[in-house]
Amino acid sequence: MSRIGKKPVELPSGVSATVKGQSIEVKGPKGSKIFDATDDVTITVDGNAVTVTPRGMSKRARQQWGMSRTMIRNLVTGVTGGFKRELEIQGVGYRAAIAGQDLKLSLGYSHEVVYKVPAGITVTCPKQTEIVVEGTDAQQVGQVAAEIREWKKPEPYKGKGIRYKDEYIFRKEGKKK
């Protein structure tokens, strides 16, 4: 039995969900999102809660049970509050700035790195050394943050690079004479 799958997803006020076949559409203040579930699960809406139940007890049905419930919860979270990922830039001369729909990064290369922000994602720079990625899709927010971090991963000797705000970098000692 899936511990996660058994729990119903509560719909806050202002959020509605409709099921058509194997797809569920969740509408809220920040827009609407759709999730297409596999044939291994059944999705039902009772009042202000969405429940997911497996169709059988095969291994695949039990796997899809918890995953489908989590995806629906992410839809509800996305249309109500959205998702946010914060990045920090550390290093002398390393900085970020927004220019239109592009994120310009100075990361110690001979050129400026220009990252084109995809549609549906908002990137802001409250300071020159902070980047905030926001959006309604959890997967897309994480993917954009990972792509930005990929330009200069934090290195273990000086700690320079782009890191997540809550990330801990294990520091190494340098060479000894």
One pLDDT digit (tens) per residue for the chain, 177 residues? 678 889 999 999 999 999 999 999 999 999 999 999 999 999 999 989 999 999 999 999 999 999 999 999 999 999 999 999 999 999 999 999 999 999 999 999 999 999 999 999 999 999 999 999 999 999 999 999 999 999 999 999 998 999 999 999 999 998 888
- 8 A C-beta contact, residue 144 and residue 131: no
Full residue range of the structural domain in which residue 145 is found: 83-164
Given 58, 80, 102, which residue is the final one in a domain? 80
CATH code, domain carrying 66: 3.90.930.12
Sign of CA dihedral 103, 107, 108, 113: negative
| pTM, entire model | 0.88
154 & 89 share domain: yes
